[in-house]
């Protein structure tokens, strides 16, 4: 059964067509040449071109396509496979590196991101996935229609995720562990603060039960190109001082450790 996508304007179901999707009240949305649907109305935008810019998107695509983060992708798939999901919604999916692999563990996969350049790249590569430009704060997805929501490195809208999940649904959250890329951050910043992967747990308590929590750690041996891509795809590119960024980018390479916290939540029966 195909998940119901809803109109971002009137919240009625959209009927899917080859070239246009329409709701019963007359709103219509064209299918882009690459195959994605833009369901982010102008009035829902906070800027003209929200989300990551094309330069950041391309840097992330090149870095991930080199499989630097393949151990994380494998760990995510191993975590989701036993759940035997029919549908997965990947919020903040970016250019689709992780989303494209979700077809191995679910029959239907939907990728959503607020950045159109990212969705355009994703749709070109994976035609068997439903790609949506949309907001995680107001998901264009019907109530109680999704088995798993994936939220990797993006803003958490917990009420919205709970709304679209089936009664027995799950949320997978992946976020940096406290010492993720620590040695790189030491070179970029005078003071390095540890990430806090548990800072959002209290927001889940009333609606979800934490089922599992694990760390995924692996070494990264980056050449100059890989290091440059990593700097461009993260907030480090604009948070660090220019001279520190330039010094690190000029180095021939860098060995560091990637470390992530992976948390699996199950929706509580209310």
Binding residues for Zn(2+): 7, 10, 23, 27
Sheet holding 37-38, edge to edge: 37-38, 130-133, 106-113, 85-91, 146-152, 165-176, 253-267, 208-223
How many angstroms separate the most distant Cα atoms in the chain?
58
Name the nearest CA neighbour of 149 among 199, 203, 83.
Answer: 83
The C-alpha atoms of residue 59 and residue 234 are separated, in whole angstroms, by: 9
Q: Which residues are annotated as a binding site?
A: 7, 10, 23, 27, 69, 95-96, 180
Binding site for S-adenosyl-L-methionine, by residue number, is: 69, 95-96, 180
Q: Which of 48, 51, 206, 76 is CA-nearest to residue 137?
A: 51
Q: At what angle do helices 242-250 and 224-233 cross, to 10 degrees?
A: 150
- What is the C-alpha to C-alpha distance for residues 57 and 155, in angstroms, rounded to an integer? 17
Tell me the C-alpha to C-alpha distance, in Å, between residue 103 and each of 9, 63, 140, 161, 231: 29, 21, 21, 20, 29
Can you point out the beta strands (E) in the chain?
14-15, 20-23, 28-30, 37-38, 85-91, 106-113, 130-133, 146-152, 165-176, 208-223, 253-267
Distance CA 60, CA 226 (A): 10
Residue 167, φ and ψ in degrees, nearest 5: -55, -30
Q: Are 39 and 12 in contact (CB under 8 A)?
A: no
The torsion angles phi and psi of 110, rounded to 5 degrees, stand at: -120, 130
């Amino acid at each position: 059964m195909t998940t119901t996508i809803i109109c971002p304007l009137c919240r009625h179901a959209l009927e899917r067509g080859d070239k246009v999707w329409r709701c019963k009240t007359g709103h219509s949305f064209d299918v882009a040449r690459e195959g994605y649907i833009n369901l982010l109305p102008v009035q829902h935008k906070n800027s003209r071109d929200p989300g990551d810019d094309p330069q950041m998107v391309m840097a992330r695509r090149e870095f991930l396509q080199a499989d630097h983060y393949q151990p994380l992708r494998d760990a995510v798939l191993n975590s989701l496979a036993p759940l035997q999901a029919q549908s997965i919604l990947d919020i903040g999916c970016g250019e689709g590196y992780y989303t494209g692999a979700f077809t191995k563990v679910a029959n239907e996969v939907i990728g959503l991101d607020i950045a159109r350049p990212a969705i355009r790249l994703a749709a070109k590569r994976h035609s068997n996935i439903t790609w949506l430009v949309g907001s995680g704060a107001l998901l264009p997805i019907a109530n109680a229609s999704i088995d798993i929501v994936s939220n990797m490195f993006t803003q958490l809208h917990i009420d919205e995720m709970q709304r679209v999940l089936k009664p027995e649904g799950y949320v997978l959250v992946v976020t940096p562990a406290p010492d993720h890329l620590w040695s790189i951050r030491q070179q970029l910043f005078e003071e390095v603060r540890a990430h806090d992967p548990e800072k959002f747990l209290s927001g889940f308590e009333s609606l979800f039960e934490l089922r599992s929590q694990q760390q995924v750690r692996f070494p990264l041996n980056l050449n100059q190109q890989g290091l440059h891509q990593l700097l461009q795809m993260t907030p480090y590119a604009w948070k660090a001082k220019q001279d520190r960024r330039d010094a690190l980018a000029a180095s021939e390479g860098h060995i560091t450790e990637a470390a992530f916290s992976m948390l699996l939540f199950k929706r509580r029966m209310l």
